[in-house]
Chain A
Amino acid sequence: MSLGRVILSVRDLHTYIAGFYILQGVSFEAGEKSITAILGRNGVGKTTTLKTIMGIYKPVKGEVRFKDENVTALPTDRIVSKGVSFVPAEKSIFGTLTVLENLKLAYNGPKDKFADRLETVYSMFPELKRFSSNRAGELSGGQQKMLAVACGIMREHELLILDEPSEGLSPLYVKTLLKELKGLSESYGKSILLVEQNFALAKEVIDYVYLMDKGVVVAGFPAEKIPEKDELIRRVLGVKL
């Protein structure tokens, strides 16, 4: 791929869940300091791909390399400690903990840097500051999603993986969120991998796109090529752009 150094490389992943053959040989790469998106219809294995990368599901075959190190099927917390931060689509925060406790739990860097990081995150999502001592379960759906992303950013990471960050958010929230993500990758040099259904919004910020269908990645190309790949995208996603 044409986007400089590779931070994450996935080779021929095969994963079964409860006897169902979900990933049937997924391969792709995510570049450093850029935003990579995996697009695909519901049920083609996008979430399973992310959870296999994170060691939540164990693949029967294949390899996940992060910064040239084999991390396949390591315990999730080990992968996290190597610098991968994951924001799941469902169940992404602790409802019984307060907003601040969620953020504290997410943070794993040096103690003296905690206050700075918290300020950064609060300035990105000012609403969270107001509700910091509320239980996270009391927040609205949109605010919970914000908190989930905020937790993802709190964790020390070089690669941020987001599963459906825009799901359940109003278009206004999605715009803010994507703008923040773009800023994160541009000004802090973070790499981002996201799975998205809302292609219309995602294409504004992404650098590289992969299309997934029936358990495999069928195509990958830089964002500039989106217009000329119109026919393929429509066939795989079943949408007109």
Chain B
Amino acid sequence: MPLLELLLSAIVDALAYSSMIYMAALGLVIIFGLMDVFNLSHGAFFGLGAYIFVTVFYATNNFLLSILVTALIGAAVGLATERLIIRPVYGQPLAQLLVTMGLMTLLFTLIQLVWPTGLWFPETESFIVSGYVEIASVRVRVYKFFLMVVGFTLFALMSITLSKTMFGVKLRAGTESRELARVFGVNIDRLFSLGFMLGSLLAFLGGALVAPLTHATVELPVHFSLLAFAIPVVGGMKSYTGAFYASLLVGFVDRFVAYFAPWLTFAVDLFVMIAVLLLKPEGLFGR
């Protein structure tokens, strides 16, 4: 492939991959970045989202319905997780690491038991899901553009929710001080339940959305677990815009390395994270 076509292909892949990373990290921006909960099982949520989505898709053959069902299951799983194991450990990072590591192990094992060889997402009739377009003699999967649009839309929705709505103001207030938020009349228990539920929903949704491209492979949960945690670190823990730019950065670095120095892929993502931690520990976009 000539260089120009290679470059075009790499850019499309990088943008799509950035969107995928952002979707994996978005829920974690709320749960880890805003609520200060180390949820190690976030990547397992993402993986479970992919598996459940493909399973529901086989049963219904309806893309939107499968997305919706997966998101609802995500919300339910998030709510149950918060009530049962997260609520007793707010403000205790070590306990959070232990209980969510337990949950992560449980979910990974569950996934391996139910779907030991992974799940292949089938070809569909839909042009958006399975179709291709040709741009300057490069054949590109239409779904990659769909992922970019969804990624940008989620970013816009997230920014508006956090900066403009009272839910966002309350969440930021609760992050700064739970005690003072209560003094301001905020029902913090309900707020954090909602926040955790929303974060988990976004993880499942992200898993569902990437599945048509990546398939629900065995290594998918672990791969995106690492990426999801790299994003708040690179972007700055408290910065919800930072997560977006960090996803673009990691996405471009990863894909360009994959195209031009494939033996370094993935390792380079973690190099980015380590370099940021060494040079600017508060994150590139941290306050």
B residues 26-85 in Cβ contact with A at 8 Å: none
A94 with B177: CB separation less than 8 A: yes
Residue of B nearest to A156 (CB): B185
Over the window 154-179 of chain B, the binary record of Cβ atoms lying under 8 Å from chain A Cβ atoms (1 yes, 0 no) is: 00000000000010011011011101
A105 with B183: CB separation less than 8 A: no
Task: Please classify the interface of chain A as helix (H, G, I), strand (E, B), loop, or mixed, using the class held by over half of its residues.
Answer: loop
- The reply to whether the CB of A70 lies closer than 8 angstroms to some CB of chain B is no
B186 with A105: CB separation less than 8 A: yes
- The reply to whether the CB of A120 lies closer than 8 angstroms to some CB of chain B is no
Known contacts A96-B172, A105-B169; is-contact A80 B177 (Cβ 8 Å): no
B183 with A76: CB separation less than 8 A: yes
A77 with B186: CB separation less than 8 A: yes
Residue of B nearest to A95 (CB): B176
Known contacts A97-B172, A104-B166, A104-B169; is-contact A88 B185 (Cβ 8 Å): no
A77–B238 CA distance with the chains assembled, in angstroms? 25
Interface size class on chain B is: 10 to 19
A56 with B182: CB separation less than 8 A: yes
Residues of chain B with a CB closer than 8 A to A106's CB? 184-185
- The reply to whether the CB of B188 lies closer than 8 angstroms to some CB of chain A is yes
A94 with B176: CB separation less than 8 A: yes
Closest chain-B Cβ to A1's Cβ sits at a distance in Å of 27
Residue of B nearest to A137 (CB): B176
Interface size class on chain A is: 20 to 34
Closest chain-B Cβ to A135's Cβ sits at a distance in Å of 10
Closest chain-A Cβ to B242's Cβ sits at a distance in Å of 15
Given contacts A76-B183, A94-B173, A96-B238, could you give 19 more A-B pairs where the C-beta distance is less than 8 Å?
A54-B183, A56-B179, A75-B187, A76-B182, A91-B177, A91-B179, A91-B180, A93-B180, A94-B180, A95-B176, A96-B176, A97-B169, A97-B173, A101-B169, A105-B170, A106-B184, A106-B185, A151-B184, A155-B185
**A interface residue numbers (CB < 8 A to B):** 54, 56, 75-77, 80-81, 86, 88, 91-97, 101, 104-106, 108, 151, 155
The 3 A-B residue pairs with the shortest CB-CB distance in the complex, in nearest-first order: A76-B182, A80-B185, A94-B173
